[in-house]
Amino acid sequence: MKKKALISVFDKTNIVDLAKGLEDLGWEIISTGGTFKHLKENGLNPIDVSQVTKFPEILDGRVKTLNPMIHGGILYRRDHEDHVETIKENHIESIDMVVNNLYPFAKKLKEKAPHEEMIENIDIGGPSMIRAAAKNYKDVLILTDPADYERVLETLKNGEDSIDLRADLARKAFSYTAQYDSLIASYFNNYLEVSYPEKLTMTYDKVDQLRYGENPHQKAAYYKNAFDDLGIEIKQLHGKELSYNNLNDIFATVKAVKEFKEPAAVGVKHTNPSGIGVGENIYDAYIRAYECDPTSIFGGIFALNREVDEKTADHMSSYFLEVIIAPSFSAGAVEILTKKKNLRLIEIKDLADFDLDKKNFKQVLSGLVYQDQDKFSQEEKDFAFETVTKRKATDEEIENLKFAWKCVKNVASNGVVLAKDKATVGIGQGEVRRSWAVEEAIERAGDKISGAVLASDAFFFEDTVEALHKAGVKAMISPGGSIKDQGVIDLCDKYDMTLIFTKTRHFRH
């Protein structure tokens, strides 16, 4: 008796070659709808599924393979006498291979299709067939990926069909349907604005096997979120492949630079900013960020929210950077920067437009915590703060305090930022004591501290005020919220310093 393959695919890539190869090996092809027509038009001799089921396709194709003549032929165990007898009694024929891929739900997500169209692109019969074949993989080959067609044909031609191959195909099939269902679940959560569903499903596509992880002895791979990242184009123009640490730093740098609408540049080392600056043009913004800490940025990365021009590229090429990220690079900049063989140039054309203000998660014991992004509004019209001291900030100080407040949101806690002229001049971060972060920022600012203001990601105490007063800082911004706030305010009044409370904390752990 001839072996039979049921072929029903939306994506018809290489399907004719597979079907011809199977026919050449003596297999019979059962097919449905558009796939049946496509195979017939290409000279093959498929059997229409309705001839097998003895029932027509109904409900605009919603029901065509949901039938015992199909699922019985897939699911019965060939080594169980009762199963074999049942199949004979009901005149059901074996189906020994299922080739299936599903309606393009992910494609419709990317296209932002209307809700009714999304619903019509939820496949029902396909996942049922795939899961049935994958469950019975010892007896049935299941193909869901066109990339597997050639290797399966070669295996059959050479008589090398193995249980390991079948199990691997089943593994891929279950992963495929699991992701499909996850996308649908995520779509409905988004459609109904359910932020924290009872069952959290997230699905990712493998982009690259990395050389190693955070350290050379750790294996790692890069996966892209199949739901939230649809439509974001990240293009590497030059340089060696990205590493685990590069990808981690890129995320931190892009998050920081997206705080600003004006020309801005952010330098980062090990996810911590080494300098942030804005300016009238991208070169001025970049130089301000670079000059905050020209030593630590060696081996770091830069993100800019405007095209990298020749002047900026020329300076960037004067020292060692791992990665440069921008919406575009001028031809002259590319010529300059590509002379450095290993420097990665990353182009994100829609850098200013795509939304990072979604959820983030972090691994904890036995699971993860899932939260909103820290997306406190930084629009000037929404910038809410309260001056709690007698001294009021000057207009110039206010502008720099607003800038510093955006910056401190992106440093590691405990963290503080000293800034002036729309540039960081000293950053203290990741300390277990806030006063140590303040001392660190003051030391790094050096003689640039004159006229600087300070932003703190959380409340501080009198020791911070004392250190800043001694350094000559006159204006500060912090969330406030400590039981010791009044003592801090009184000390600021004593030293004629300005303190502004935002009542919003910016921890980044």
Q: Where are the domains of the chain?
A: 4-191, 217-223+234-347, 380-501
Q: Does domain 217-223+234-347 have CATH number 3.40.140.20?
A: yes
Could you please state the CATH topology (level 3) that the domain comprising 380-501 is classified under.
Cytidine Deaminase; domain 2 (3.40.140)
Q: Which helix (H) or strand (E) holds 206?
A: strand 204-209
Contacts 24+ apart (CB under 8 A), 184-188: 184/105, 184/122, 186/227, 187/105, 187/109, 187/118, 187/227
| Contact indicator for 477, 392 with CB cutoff of 8 Å | no
Looking at the structure, give the CATH architecture of the domain made up of residues 4-191. Answer: 3-Layer(aba) Sandwich (3.40)
How many other C-beta atoms are found inside a 10 Å radius of the C-beta of residue 341? 8
The one-letter code for the residue type at 381 is K
Q: Which two tokens stand for residue 42?
A: 């290409």
Residue for token digits 């009762």? Answer: 82
Active site residue 135: yes
Contacts 24+ apart (CB under 8 A), 22-27: 22/97, 22/153, 22/156, 25/153, 25/156, 25/157, 26/2, 27/2, 27/3, 27/96, 27/97
421: alpha, beta or left? (left if phi > 0; alpha if psi -120 to 50): left
| Contact indicator for 152, 141 with CB cutoff of 8 Å | yes
Q: Which two tokens stand for residue 505?
A: 């904390």
422: alpha, beta or left? (left if phi > 0; alpha if psi -120 to 50): left
Task: Report the pLDDT value the prediction gives residue 363, as an integer from 0 to 100.
Answer: 81
Q: 414 preceded by cis ω (within 30°)?
A: yes
Write down the catalytic residue from 83, 270, 315, 358.
270
Task: Report the pLDDT value the prediction gives residue 170, as an integer from 0 to 100.
Answer: 97
Task: Report the pLDDT value the prediction gives residue 52, as an integer from 0 to 100.
Answer: 85
Active site residue 270: yes
Tell me whether domains 217-223+234-347 and 380-501 share a fold: yes
Sites in the chain below the pLDDT cut of 70:
61, 229-231, 357, 376-384
Task: Report the pLDDT value the prediction gives residue 160, as an integer from 0 to 100.
Answer: 87
Task: Report the pLDDT value the prediction gives residue 229, as an integer from 0 to 100.
Answer: 67
Residue for token digits 């699905």? Answer: 203
Task: Report the pLDDT value the prediction gives residue 370, as an integer from 0 to 100.
Answer: 77
Strands (DSSP E) found in 12-167: 28-31, 47-48, 97-101, 141-143
pTM of the complete model = 0.84
Strands 359-364 and 367-372: antiparallel
How many other C-beta atoms are found inside a 10 Å radius of the C-beta of residue 190? 14
Task: Report the pLDDT value the prediction gives residue 63, as an integer from 0 to 100.
Answer: 74
Write down the catalytic residue from 20, 135, 224, 340.
135
